[in-house]
Amino acid sequence: MYVNNIQQEGEFNSQLEVTAGTHLKRNNNSNLSESLKKNLFDGWKNTLLTVLTGIFSLIVIYQVITFVVTNNWDVIYDNLRLLMIGQYPIEEIWRLWIALDLVSLLIGLTWGLWKGAGKAVAATFGSVFFVFAVIPWTTLNTSLNLTASIALIAVGYFAGDRLDGLKIPTLILWALYIPLALGLITGFGGLLEPVLSREWGGWLLTVIIASISIIGCFPLGVLLALGRRSELPVIRYFCIGYIELVRGIPLIMVLFIGQLLIPLFLGGETGIDNVSRAIIAYTFFAAAYLAENVRGGLQSIPAGQYEAAQALGLNKFKLTFFIILPQALKAVIPALVGQFITILKDTSLVAIIGLADFLGTARRISNNPEYLGRYMELYIFVAAFYFIFCYLMAHVSRHLERSLSKGNQ
């Protein structure tokens, strides 16, 4: 993906410069009509272009608005719970609410403590919660829980804004969040009523697969990247071989390998459920791509850093993990976020191997004769969800990119 640009080192900076986007160029002493004229109606060619684009965008906007307003959205609200959490047992749903409350609090704290991109994240989550809380067809229970989450974002913000000492606890909580949430969802291995993976579904399953794969592929990818630059030929060629092989085949093949061959590799036993097999496949797939991104970062570290560390008498391990890696990872944070967006989008492929993730659930509902031909509503809903969260991640990534490049000036 566009992340590959980073491997050409020189370009990295030029990529940073172009992110600002176009704005109406407005001078302080010129008014709006002048700037409009300058940007839109400058010569007949430009005017023609503006008029054509304007007509086109008006038609599209009109179509979208008519579709949203005049459409019957009952297929969504009849199946909202299925789309969001799948077959998750309704008497255990409080666990999901706790997980959501916790993440809301953390988002609020992060926003209050570090400001910056936290604002966009908090605003997006808050708005999504708000929309679902006020639409009339959610139950009172859901509305109350969502309101509590919004309140927790606010509480977190004010707490974080006032108390600077919360930085370390917040970071620790973030690190513990995924295992904690997973424990809650599965039932802490028997402590609570266990909920099996076949009962997960919808957006919940998508988020679970994406987050475990992201966390799992990270150490593996870093190790592969280090291995690819190793001085030991055997390790280097093994890593090159692995990375190039995995990057050469489509994801759906990797998923097939996960679903069909993992049982074979284990001697024909199906000991692992298909959600875990999908997660394993994603992890190994994403690690190869992540390794390439990290390698881009490793290549951007000047040789002086290695020499200085050696002069200080650091051994190989300390040199790699305390000097080189932190700098390399910092340099490729935007690329890594891009990779994570790709993973989130790619989790939709499990619909092909028969799991009921967000898209898979939508597909199953559309096959229900009761909702014959209601594809557009379902898929637009799914698309909107993916769009909001992918766009949010991209926005955070751009923000990080800007604030990180500020440090280098």
User: Phi-psi category of 187—alpha, beta or left, where left has phi over 0 and alpha has psi -120 to 50?
Assistant: left
Does the footprint of another protein cover residue 256 (CB under 8 A)?
yes
Among 32, 231, 317, 409, binds another protein (CB under 8 A): 231
Does the footprint of another protein cover residue 46 (CB under 8 A)?
yes
Does the footprint of another protein cover residue 98 (CB under 8 A)?
no
**By CB neighbour count within 10 A (0-12 exposed, 13-18 middle, 19+ buried), where does 407 fall?**
exposed
Assess contact for 133 and 150: CB atoms under 8 A.
yes
Place of tokens 């490729």: 332
Query: In whole angstroms, how close is the CB of 20 to another protein at the nearest point?
Result: 11
Cα 26 to chain center, whole Å?
Answer: 35
Does the footprint of another protein cover residue 257 (CB under 8 A)?
yes
How many binding residues for another protein (CB under 8 A)?
Answer: 70
Among 165, 190, 248, 271, binds another protein (CB under 8 A): 248
Query: Encoding tokens for residue 171?
Result: 């970071």
Query: In whole angstroms, how close is the CB of 21 to another protein at the nearest point?
Result: 7
Does the footprint of another protein cover residue 379 (CB under 8 A)?
yes
DSSP code, position 135: S
- Positive or negative: CA dihedral 265, 266, 269, 274: negative
Does the footprint of another protein cover residue 346 (CB under 8 A)?
yes
User: Phi-psi category of 267—alpha, beta or left, where left has phi over 0 and alpha has psi -120 to 50?
Assistant: left
Among 159, 178, 223, 235, binds another protein (CB under 8 A): 235
Q: Which stretch binds another protein (CB under 8 A): 6-14, 130-138, 148-156, 328-336?
A: 6-14
Does the footprint of another protein cover residue 265 (CB under 8 A)?
yes
Among 143, 300, 366, 405, binds another protein (CB under 8 A): 366
DSSP code, position 357: B
Q: Which stretch binds another protein (CB under 8 A): 108-116, 212-220, 255-263, 297-305?
A: 255-263
Does the footprint of another protein cover residue 9 (CB under 8 A)?
no
Q: Give dist(CA 264, CA 56) in Å, integer.
A: 54
Backbone angles phi, psi at 357, to 5 degrees: -80, -170
Does the footprint of another protein cover residue 238 (CB under 8 A)?
yes
Does the footprint of another protein cover residue 373 (CB under 8 A)?
yes
Residues 120-159 that bind another protein (CB under 8 A): none
Place of tokens 């898979």: 360
Query: Encoding tokens for residue 102?
Result: 């916790």
User: Phi-psi category of 163—alpha, beta or left, where left has phi over 0 and alpha has psi -120 to 50?
Assistant: beta
Packing angle, helices 140-162 and 118-134, rounded to 10: 160
Does the footprint of another protein cover residue 363 (CB under 8 A)?
yes
Query: Encoding tokens for residue 114?
Result: 């570090």
Nearer CB in complex with another protein: 13/139:
13
Backbone angles phi, psi at 206, to 5 degrees: -55, -45
Does the footprint of another protein cover residue 15 (CB under 8 A)?
yes
Does the footprint of another protein cover residue 44 (CB under 8 A)?
no
Assess contact for 117 and 400: CB atoms under 8 A.
yes
Which stretches of the chain bind another protein, using CB under 8 A? Answer: 1-2, 4-5, 7-8, 11, 14-15, 17-18, 21-22, 24, 39-40, 42, 46, 49-50, 53-54, 56-57, 231-235, 238, 245, 248-253, 256-257, 260-261, 263-269, 341, 345-346, 348-349, 351-352, 359, 363, 366, 373, 375-376, 379-380, 382-383, 386-387, 390-391, 394
